[in-house]
Amino acid sequence: MNAKSLSKLCAPCLAILLAAATGCSYVVDAVEAQIMNRASFSITVTDNHNGTVTVDWEDIDDLDSGAFAGYEIYVTDTPNDEFAGYRVIAAEYSLSSSTDVDSGLHYDTTRSATVNFTPNSAGDVYYFRVAAIYWDEEKESDREKNWTFDKVGHTWTSSYPDSENRWFYENKSGIDKVSGGLRVQF
């Protein structure tokens, strides 16, 4: 067994030891949570009383810079309803007519963003979330190899902003980590 083989065994061996030390229930819960996009970090939201809110989020555990595609900020699309769906209000690209474009959301080191947002009425309650978006192909080498014109009709580029990079963002990315839903009353 050479050094490379030994290093590949490290991750599963560590997972096994982790399961043994912490309890299998927590390990399998963490696995299920990863599959189901479970909320895993918290945010704060400040109403700036000028038609904008500032959203701050804590460091995200296990954030993979190589797979990271950007942050997105969401708000409930119906006021005064904890169980409403969410819509995107800020991203590095204009994903909808109501999306603020914020180039800072392209960088994994960003921890804050100020977004245009006006509630329907004073006193309304909204819920906010932040998501870390990952590329479907998490390694750059896989993106270069598999996202070619002959395979997907577009050529991968990491250059931002770029129309090709935007196409991949809209079609080949997904939520990997998401915050809890923070209640804000305006």
Partner 1 sequence: MRKLLFAAAFVSSAVLSVPAYVSAASYEASSLFNSVGRSETVQDLFFERWETILDRQLYIDLYGKINWVNDFKVHTINQGNGQPQTIPMTLVRTYGSLTIDIPVLGGYDNTELTKRLNKGSSGNADDQESDSSGGGLWKPKNLQVAFTATGFHYGLTRKAAVDRGSAGDESVTDYRFTQFFDDIFSLSVLYMPYVYVHGGVIMNNQIEPKADGTMSYADSKNGYPEFRWFFASNLLSFLNTNATITKGKVEKMAVGTEVVKFVEMFTKVPKVVPRVTITGKQLALYNDETYDSVWVKSAFIHGTASAKNREMVDGDRQHAKLYTASILVSEDFKNIFFADFFAEYQYCPATLIEKRTDQKLDLAPLREMRGSVGCNFFGFNPANIYALTLTVGMGQYWDPAIALHRTSGTGHSLTGYFSSLKFEHPLFGVELDASYNYSKELRKLVETADKVAVEASLFVRF
- Binding-site ranges for partner 1 (CB under 8 A): 16, 19-20, 22-29, 31-43, 67, 72, 74, 76-77, 79-88, 91, 95-96, 99, 125, 127, 129, 131, 133, 136-138, 142, 169-171, 173-176, 178-183
Helix, strand, or coil (residue 131): strand
State the nearest-atom distance from the C-beta of 4 to partner 1, in Å: 20
Q: Provide DSSP, 7-28.
A: HHHHHHHHHHHHHHHH-HHHHH
Question: At 84, is the secondary structure helix, strand, or coil?
Answer: coil
**Which one, 22 or 118, has the nearer CB to partner 1?**
22
Instruction: Give 179's contacts (C-beta < 8 A, 6+ positions apart).
Output: 39, 40, 41, 42, 43, 57, 129, 130, 131
Whole-angstrom Cα distance, residue 90 to residue 105?
8
Residue closer to partner 1 (CB basis): 50 or 61: 61
What is the closest distance, in whole angstroms, from the C-beta atom of residue 1 to partner 1 in the complex? 15
CB of 33 to partner 1, least distance (A): 8
Q: At what angle do helices 3-22 and 24-35 cross, to 10 degrees?
A: 110
Q: Which residue, 96 or 159, is less far from partner 1 as judged by CB?
A: 96
Q: 50 or 84: whose CB is closer to partner 1?
A: 84
